[in-house]
């Protein structure tokens, strides 16, 4: 089976490297990344070609999602499956429903790992939000992921976003605050301090755009950030 990947940034490259073990992978990226594709051993092709495969994975930034969907729509074949990998789900799922014709199948996904955490095999979890997909195809995908030992969580886009606002958006918010505090390794420290440094480093490795999108394109994230800030201020007041 042939898979097209639109967007060959840090996450697009991670999935291309994994999928090429089992599929013929065709990738496209806005800026020229043909060198990286050659190094990985995947086909670097024009956007029209990547979008015309049986399965098309959209892996560009969340903020460019609408523009990309409109660009690829005309090249996607009837009966093909379009899946996204965005770290938020209501926003891209809503756009896919609106922009893609009814004869194209849709699956929302959020792989709960990134280039840094992928090495921890036991942590490879993936959220699936079936939107418009035939049972047989969904079963095939589930079987494949199970064989690859991914832990699957099947849910709705809404439930995903409400949960991930606490379990990811909050972590990224705290990590970016720690970055602004310019936390450094110290000889006199405790183990939990090293965990803070770890959070800061992992979060810092993602692009700034991804941080903005995780915080701004999830409608539940602002409330969680405010709850955190309010509690930080309150606790500080109690200590005066
Ligand atoms: P990234 O490294 O910043 O890459 C962003 C990608 O989007 C690049 O390929 C970039 O192309 C492309 N892009 C940005 N604006 C574009 C536009 N207007 N038109 C066309 N392409 C555009 O981000 P990433 O970490 O790979 O994230 C990509 C997706 O994966 C996001 O939806 C994110 O939520 C999801 N994801 C990421 C992780 C992670 O840990 N990184 C985990 C799970 C899911 P250029 O190279 O030309 O700039």
pLDDT digits (tens, 9 = 90+) for 157-174: 999 999 999 999 999 999
Instruction: Provide the angle, in degrees to the nearest 10, between the axes of the packed helices 90-99 and 157-164.
Output: 150
Cα-Cα-Cα-Cα dihedral sign, residues 134, 156, 106, 206: negative
E-state strands within the chain: 2-6, 24-28, 43-44, 55-58, 81-84, 105-111, 125-132, 151-154
> Which numbered atom of ligand 1 lies nearest the CA of 11?
26
The domain over range 2-155 is classified in CATH as 3.10.450.50: no
> Which numbered atom of ligand 1 lies nearest the CA of 209?
3
| Distance of alpha carbon 31 from alpha carbon 19, whole angstroms | 22
Selected residue with higher pLDDT from 62 and 121: 62
> Which numbered atom of ligand 1 lies nearest the CA of 116?
40
Of the chain, the end-to-end C-alpha distance in Å amounts to: 64
| CA-based nearest residue to 54, from 146, 134, 122, 110 | 134
Q: Which of 210, 213, 214, 216 to mutate to test the pocket of ligand 1 (most atoms within 8 A of CB)?
A: 210
DSSP bridge pairs for 127: 110, 153
* 126 contacts 185 by C-beta, under 8 angstroms: no
| Distance of alpha carbon 50 from alpha carbon 43, whole angstroms | 9
Give distance in angstroms: CA of 110 to centre of ligand 1: 13
Looking at residue 121, its pLDDT comes to: 80
pLDDT (average), residues 110-130: 90
Looking at residue 163, its pLDDT comes to: 98
- What's the pLDDT tens digit per position in 127-152? 999 999 999 999 999 999 999 999 99
Looking at residue 156, its pLDDT comes to: 98
Looking at residue 193, its pLDDT comes to: 98
Looking at residue 16, its pLDDT comes to: 98
Q: Which of 9, 96, 206 to mutate to test the pocket of ligand 1 (most atoms within 8 A of CB)?
A: 9
Give the CA-trace dihedral at 11, 177, 215, 106, to 10 degrees.
Answer: 20
Domain spans of the chain, in order of start: 2-155, 159-238
Looking at residue 200, its pLDDT comes to: 96
Say if residue 22's pLDDT is above 90: yes
Looking at residue 87, its pLDDT comes to: 98
* 3 contacts 28 by C-beta, under 8 angstroms: no
Pocket of ligand 1 (CB under 6 A): 7-12, 29-31, 59-62, 64, 67-68, 85-87, 111, 114-115, 206-207, 209-210
Using the 8-state DSSP alphabet, how is residue 123 labeled?
Answer: G
pLDDT band at 117 (very low <50, low <70, confident <90, very high): confident
Residue nearest to atom 32 of ligand 1 (CA): 86
Backbone conformation region of residue 214, classed left if phi is above 0, alpha if psi is from -120 to 50, else beta: alpha
pLDDT band at 23 (very low <50, low <70, confident <90, very high): very high
Give the CA-trace dihedral at 184, 187, 191, 193, to 10 degrees.
Answer: -30
DSSP bridge pairs for 26: 4, 43
Which residue carries 């930034």 as its tokens?
A: 61
Say if residue 37's pLDDT is above 90: yes
Looking at residue 145, its pLDDT comes to: 96
What does pLDDT average to over the chain?
97
* 123 contacts 146 by C-beta, under 8 angstroms: no
pLDDT band at 115 (very low <50, low <70, confident <90, very high): confident
pLDDT (average), residues 87-106: 98
The model's pTM: 0.96
Residue nearest to atom 16 of ligand 1 (CA): 64
| Distance of alpha carbon 87 from alpha carbon 211, whole angstroms | 10
pLDDT band at 119 (very low <50, low <70, confident <90, very high): confident
Q: Which of 11, 13, 115, 211 to mutate to test the pocket of ligand 1 (most atoms within 8 A of CB)?
A: 11
Say if residue 182's pLDDT is above 90: yes
Give distance in angstroms: CA of 68 to centre of ligand 1: 11
> Which numbered atom of ligand 1 lies nearest the CA of 12?
26
């Amino acid at each position: 089976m042939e898979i097209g990947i639109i967007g060959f940034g840090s996450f697009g490259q991670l999935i291309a490297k994994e999928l090429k073990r089992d599929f013929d992978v065709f990738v496209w990226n806005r800026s020229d990344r043909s060198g990286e594709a050659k190094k990985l051993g995947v086909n670097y092709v024009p956007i029209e070609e990547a979008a015309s495969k049986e399965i098309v994975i959209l892996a560009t930034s969340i903020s460019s999602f609408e523009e990309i969907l409109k660009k690829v729509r005309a090249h996607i074949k009837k009966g093909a499956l379009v899946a996204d990998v965005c770290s938020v789900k209501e926003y891209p799922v809503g756009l896919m429903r609106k922009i893609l014709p009814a004869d194209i199948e849709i699956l929302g996904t959020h792989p709960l790992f990134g280039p840094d955490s992928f090495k921890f095999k036991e942590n490879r979890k993936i959220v699936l939000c079936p939107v418009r997909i035939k049972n047989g195809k969904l079963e095939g995908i589930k079987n494949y992921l199970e064989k690859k030992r991914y832990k699957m969580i099947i849910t709705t886009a809404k439930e995903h976003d409400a949960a991930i606002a606490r379990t990811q958006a909050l972590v990224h918010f705290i990590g970016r605050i720690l970055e602004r505090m310019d936390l450094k390794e110290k000889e006199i420290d405790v183990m939990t301090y090293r965990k803070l440094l770890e959070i800061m480093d992992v979060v810092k490795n993602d692009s700034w755009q991804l941080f903005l999108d995780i915080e701004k394109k999830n409608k539940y994230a602002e409330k969680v950030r405010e709850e955190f800030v309010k509690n930080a201020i309150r606790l500080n007041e109690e200590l005066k």
